[in-house]
Amino acid sequence: MTQRKRNSYFQCKQFTIDQGDCAMKVTTDASLLGAYVDVSHAQRILDIGAGTGLLSLFAAQRSSACIDAVELDVKAAEQARKNFANSPWPDRLSLLEMDIRDYAPQHLQRYDCIITNPPFFTDSTPNPCERTALARHNTHLPLADLMAAINQLLSADGLVWILLPLAESDTLIQLAEPLALYPQQRMLVQNSSRHAPHREILSLGRNRTTVAHSVFSLYKEHPFHTHAAAALFGQYYTRMKVEE
């Protein structure tokens, strides 16, 4: 039997994420989004830009929801579909290979939870690899188009959870307001307390409310996770170093 290269898969306690054919591999930031989103009461979940299927698989482990995932990249879609089939929850996970802008007007079902780690870099130099550029830069899927699709697909009392860089996060909130989608939670993500935040996880819904602000540190000192990170990742990660 041929042994897989370590970076071709990501081993979790209850499932394995093969990622050798995906332009974007599993990242700590995406894992945080998947572990942090409240899916405890969700009945139908949509994962926009599924990639490896990580967000869907994290959600499936912590919920009893039916989960639809949409992915445009052919190879990533094939990989995610296989990851779903090899997981403990193949009957609750489905993958469609298509553009979310085509999916939204065709799909009458509304979702009470939408999760997405979208292509989010706006002004940075595109990656020379076309597939990586598609996964990382929002030239193909501008935030305005993403929000229009989310508005079509989110239920009246649903929440969408998004991981973005800080500048794009502010832009998205401005784009969401005319659609009557408002911030519910805004959590800044930093590597440690000595680092400036580099990402934001935010949730938006249809009700105006007082926004809950917080800051989340991934590490005490790399590679030692904070206790807060360990509490989230511990249900998934097979190995982890934790601050003393």
Give the pLDDT confidence score for residue 19 in this predicted structure: 95
Sign of CA dihedral 18, 56, 192, 25: positive
Give the pLDDT confidence score for residue 131 in this predicted structure: 42
Which residues touch 128 (CB under 8 Å, ≥6 apart)? none
Mean pLDDT, residues 194-219 taken together: 97
For the chain, how many structural domains are there in total? Answer: 1
Note whether residue 1 is domain-resident: no
pLDDT digits (tens, 9 = 90+) for 24-65: 889 999 999 999 999 999 999 999 999 999 999 999 999 999
- Residue 131's domain comprises 11-242
Backbone angles phi, psi at 83, to 5 degrees: -60, -40
Give the pLDDT confidence score for residue 138 in this predicted structure: 44
Which residue in this structure is represented by tokens 């992915």?
Answer: 71
- Is the pLDDT assigned to residue 134 strictly greater than 90? no
Of the listed ranges 66-75, 136-145, 217-226, the one predicted with least confidence: 136-145
Mean pLDDT, residues 186-209 taken together: 97
Of the listed ranges 126-130, 150-154, 164-168, 234-238, the one predicted with least confidence: 126-130
Note whether residue 92 is domain-resident: yes
- Give the helix/strand (H/E) hosting 168: helix 166-176
Give me the CATH number covering residue 176: 3.40.50.150
Give the pLDDT confidence score for residue 5 in this predicted structure: 59
Pairing of strands 44-48, 111-116: parallel
- DSSP code at position 2: P
pLDDT digits (tens, 9 = 90+) for 69-108: 999 999 999 999 999 999 999 999 999 999 999 999 999 8
pLDDT winner (highest mean) among 32-41, 118-127, 128-137: 32-41
- Is the pLDDT assigned to residue 130 strictly greater than 60? no
Kindly indicate the confidence band of residue 127, based on its pLDDT and cuts at 50, 70 and 90: very low
Note whether residue 3 is domain-resident: no
Give the pLDDT confidence score for residue 21 in this predicted structure: 87
Mean pLDDT, residues 199-207 taken together: 97
Which residues touch 2 (CB under 8 Å, ≥6 apart)? none
Give the pLDDT confidence score for residue 6 in this predicted structure: 54
Query: In whole angstroms, how far apart are CA 133 and each of 110, 142, 191, 197?
Result: 30, 13, 24, 23
pLDDT above 90 as % of the chain: 83
